[in-house]
Homo-oligomer: A and B are copies of this chain.
Amino acid sequence: MSVGTYWLWNGKQWLSEFVWPTADRALHYGDGLFETLRFNHLGEAPLWFFHAERLQQGLLALGFPVTSFNLIEQAFAALPKELRQSGGKLLISRGVSERGYAPAENPEIQLLWHAFTAPEWGVDRFPQGFKADFSAVKLAPQPLLAGVKHLNRLEQVLIRSRFVEGCQEMVVCDNIGNVVEGCMSNLFILKDSKLYTPKIETCGVNGVIRRWLLENEQVNVTRLLPEDLLTAEALFFCNSLNGIVPVSQLAERQYSLKYQGWQTILNLQQKLEALFC
């Protein structure tokens, strides 16, 4: 399998490339988007629809040219099969401009594809679930960018750098104390056998698995506080690469594998995994 980094040349052809223009706006300002995808063994991305949907919202939020999405979709379709057999990261930059914050009037967007062999999926790596804690880093509310997977990720770098020892994820709140998500996942809880997940309105990433769940399950999208997590029957994190992973411990609270909630999560996990068989 071809693992490596590829650049979309001339809007058409993926060429192996390990360098990027120094004048690029993704490098200077984080002026772009990304998606991390998982493929099945046929090289298909069963959840491409959800990635595409978020990309369109992100392109709109950043004011990229309206034609950008077509270019991205064609470029994705043109990825040779050997570059989409496990995991991949698609990075979209607004390209170069004059010096300064103003984007070029007619930017030539640039695409980078990083094909990688994902570690084993979450279902196999974390059968015992995640240990998690509450992050001391709070997300800043910026409604203009909420939900979008853009390239300004310093908050996640700060959160990741401060992981409590032994934890595989951290619960992150906004600056007024509402639970938003994990560092690299979305978050759901089970309470009275019902699913709840926080609103993504002022900050946070509107994840692919989150939206797949909203589409396929009865989920209450609501305000959640830390105590709601601590008093839940069960909770889980989800993202593209890890899938759905239950939480065995959050701060001092343990969530028993024997409870019904845990089994409900494993059922959702299997339903998701079935898409990738």
Report A's interface with B, CB cutoff 8 A. Answer: 5, 7, 17-31, 34, 62-63, 89, 91, 99-103, 112, 114, 116, 137-138, 140-142, 144-145, 150-161, 163, 175, 183-184, 203
In the complex, which of the residues B18, B30, B34, B184 contacts A154, with contact meaning CB atoms closer than 8 Å?
Answer: B30
Q: Is the CB of B29 within 8 A of A151?
A: yes
Copies in the complex: 2
Q: Cα distance A151–B19 when bound, in Å?
A: 19
B contact residues around A27 at 8 Å (CB): 20, 24, 26-27, 91, 151
Q: Given A62-B154, A101-B157, A153-B152, decide whether A22 and B17 contact each other with a Cβ distance below 8 A.
A: yes
Q: Smallest Cβ distance from A40 to chain B, in angstroms? A: 20
Q: Is the CB of A22 within 8 A of B24?
A: no
Q: Given A30-B152, A91-B27, decide whether A101 and B160 contact each other with a Cβ distance below 8 A.
A: yes
Q: Given A22-B5, A27-B27, A183-B101, decide whether A62 and B157 contact each other with a Cβ distance below 8 A.
A: yes
* 26 pairs, CB–CB < 8 Å, chain A vs chain B: A5-B23, A17-B22, A19-B21, A20-B21, A20-B24, A22-B112, A24-B27, A25-B157, A27-B27, A27-B151, A28-B91, A29-B152, A29-B153, A29-B154, A29-B156, A29-B157, A62-B154, A62-B158, A99-B116, A100-B160, A101-B160, A101-B183, A102-B161, A144-B158, A145-B154, A150-B154
Q: Smallest Cβ distance from A21 to chain B, in angstroms? A: 6
Q: Is the CB of A140 within 8 A of B142?
A: yes
B contact residues around A30 at 8 Å (CB): 29-30, 151-154
B contact residues around A158 at 8 Å (CB): 62-63, 144-145
B contact residues around A103 at 8 Å (CB): 157, 160-161
